[in-house]
Structure 1
Amino acid sequence: MYKKYIKNILDFIFSLIFLIILSPLILIVGIISKIYEPKATILFKQKRAGVDNKAFTCYKFRSMKITAPKNASTYEIENPDEFITPWGKFLRKTSIDEIPQLFNILKGDMSFIGPRPVILKEKELLDLRYENGAASVKPGITGLSQISGRDNLPPAIKAKTDGIYANDISFVNDLKILLKTIPKVLKAEGVSEGKKEF
């Protein structure tokens, strides 16, 4: 009941509420972003994997210069500092860059809680998620793998953790993840930039 109906209803209601409450912040971030990158769009749009690994357009505040490599995860870039603006660093460290994903939740592409939405070329992780049963749920702004290490987890561990969540979705578990996310965001835990070898 919760997984099939209530979770979607709560996602819609709270995404709408947060968009209204955060509208002044969204406006301020947009203005400052334009100051740093006048020629760039305020929102960064990228195809990400949704339910059953089907593509959807994910929205974020732009944190990188328009000269940054296209369709690449930050962990693939050798020298991310060359492409991330000073303002973008702040947005990423505080996770403010992810606020536009509230529009994705409102549209039904995402949930507040779920596996992190990744680009389509991260085939290893997507295949492992499918094997672990995690591809059947909507990606989320936060989730079990995000509070368990985020950028610092290898694909196999991420997929296994996402699978654990997908196979035991409940209001209590979602609430626990949400509450654990708050201190993680405040401390910027698990946020890591640049190329990684696992």
Structure 2
Amino acid sequence: MSKRLFDFTLASLALILLGVPMLLIGLAVRLNSPGPALYWSLRVGRQGKPFLMPKFRSMRVGTPTVATHLLPDPESHVTPLGRWLRRTSLDELPQLWCIVRGDMSLVGPRPALCNQQTLHAMRETSGVHALAPGLTGWAQVHGRDDLDDAEKAAYDAEYLRTHCLVLDLRILCRTALLVLRGEGIRH
């Protein structure tokens, strides 16, 4: 089975199964703080092509568009429901749509913000931009938010050299375990 067919099939099935819970999460986001349920972020995709990636909004409207760890006081920007969404990774569910569309894959390097130039440069140097960005990835299961850009880029390059369906399945299983344990996530 091709990676694209695997991604499309699994993401479509997940969207069908999680449709009602996702609608309820969207409603809860709207009721919890002013603003839209979804936050659309401009990210860098395959071959450096930008695309819009949705997440359930976990930050207050007006928060600067930078990586969370670059905010002076990140906790002041996160909504009460947003903390829970981030801890459980439920804020990532709308990205299933990007997988169905073909902008993303289930497994690949996490899509970086367009203003993360250092990470982009490292990924370009190693050829990682040839891959579709993923909902999860090799770097994600090796530290997620606890990794610096150089470590993320190194894991992404390793994934580029070794990726296959078996590794993708291993990464998906490991991601599920890490999410259930709440490991490697900055709130």
**TM-score category (smaller protein):** over 0.9
Cα separation, 2, equivalents of 1:137 and 1:167? 11
Of Structure 1 and Structure 2, the greater helix share is in 2
Cα separation, 1, equivalents of 2:57 and 2:88? 14
Question: What is the CA-CA distance between 1:78 and the residue it aligns to?
Answer: 1.4
Please, which of 140, 143, 148 is the counterpart of residue 142 of structure 2? 148
Q: What is the aligned residue count?
A: 187
Contact 1:116 1:140 in 2 (8 A): yes
Please, which of 8, 15, 20 is the counterpart of residue 11 of structure 2? 15
Please, which of 18, 24, 27 is the counterpart of residue 28 of structure 1? 24
Matched, 1:183 2:183: no
Please, which of 121, 125, 129 is the counterpart of residue 127 of structure 1? 121
What is the letter of the counterpart of residue 74 of structure 1? Answer: T
Matched, 1:102 2:76: no
Q: Over aligned residue pairs, what C-alpha RMSD do you find? A: 1.0
Q: Which residue of 2 aligns with 1:47?
A: 42
Scaled by the length of structure 1, the TM-score of the pair is 0.92
Measured against aligned partners, the alpha-carbon deviations of 1:8-37 in whole angstroms (never above 9, x if no partner) come to 011111111100100111111011111112
**Structure 1: runs of 5 or more not aligned:** 194-198
Question: What is the CA-CA distance between 1:67 and the residue it aligns to?
Answer: 2.7
Moved over 2 A (4+): none
What is the letter of the counterpart of residue 75 of structure 2? Answer: D
Cα separation, 1, equivalents of 2:128 and 2:33? 37
